[in-house]
Structures are given as structure tokens and as C-alpha cells.
Amino acid sequence: MKYKLKIKEEESDAQKYQQSRINAFDDIEGRLETLKKSLRLAKIDTIKYYRDNPTKYTVVYGTDLIDDYLNDMETLLQQ
């Protein structure tokens, strides 16, 4: 009897684990939506900065680094 009970517990643990992995996608999607809004605001800030400082070469936000991270994420999601 213990063997059957143990198998059920392991299945239950596996189901919980799998569900948490699936739920992680919802969390990531929510974070991406928040990042999308932040990206729009950063773009507006950058436009304002360059309008106020037309001769400057200052990097207001690290778009190169953001782009690299996005490339990494795309690579991770390709199968």
C-alpha cells in the first residue's frame, strides 16, 4: 500500500511542478507588458533629452544592452 501512496504523492508533486512552470509564462508575459510600457516612457525621455541637448551624445538608456537581452530571450525560446 505504501508504494501506491508514494506514487500518487510523486504524481502530485510532478503536477504541482508542471503547473508552476506553466504559470511562470503568465508571470513573464505580465512583466513583458510592464517592460513595454517602461520602454515607451524611456523613449519619450530620450527624445526630450536630445531635444534639450541637441549636441550631446549621451546614452540616456542602454538600448544596446536591452537589445542584446531580447536577442538572448529570442534564442532561448527558439526550438
Q: What are the residue boundaries of the structural domains of the chain, listed by start? A: 2-77
pLDDT in tens, 34-60: 999 999 999 999 999 999 999 999 999
pLDDT in tens, 12-26: 888 999 999 999 999
Nine-digit cell string for 60: 540616456
The pTM of this model reads 0.72
Start-to-end Cα distance in the chain:
42
